[in-house]
């Protein structure tokens, strides 16, 4: 049970890390692209 809990928390950390790595460049791209698209 304890090993499962630690594995689960490690998985959550890895998941959050991957989400940050993927979403930060995407959101940066979106923020830099949207004003050009809207006001051009």
Quick one: which of 25, 22, 3, 26 has its CA closest to 14?
Answer: 22
Q: Residue by residue, what is the 3-state secondary structure of 1-40? A: CHHHHHHHHHHHHHHHHHHHHHHHHHHHHHHHHHHHHHHC
Q: Does the pLDDT at position 5 exceed 90?
A: no
> What pLDDT does 9 receive?
86
Where in the sequence is the domain holding 16, given as residue range(s)?
1-40
Q: Does the pLDDT at position 19 exceed 60?
A: yes
Q: How confident is the model at residue 17 (pLDDT cuts 50, 70, 90)?
A: very high
Dump pLDDT digits (tens) for 23-36: 999 988 888 888 78
Number of structural domains found in the chain: 1
pTM: 0.51
Quick one: which of 35, 15, 33 has its CA closest to 25?
Answer: 33
């Amino acid at each position: 049970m304890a090993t499962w809990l630690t594995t689960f928390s490690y998985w959550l950390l890895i998941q959050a890390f991957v989400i940050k790595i993927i979403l930060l460049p995407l959101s940066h791209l979106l923020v830099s692209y949207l004003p050009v698209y809207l006001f051009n």
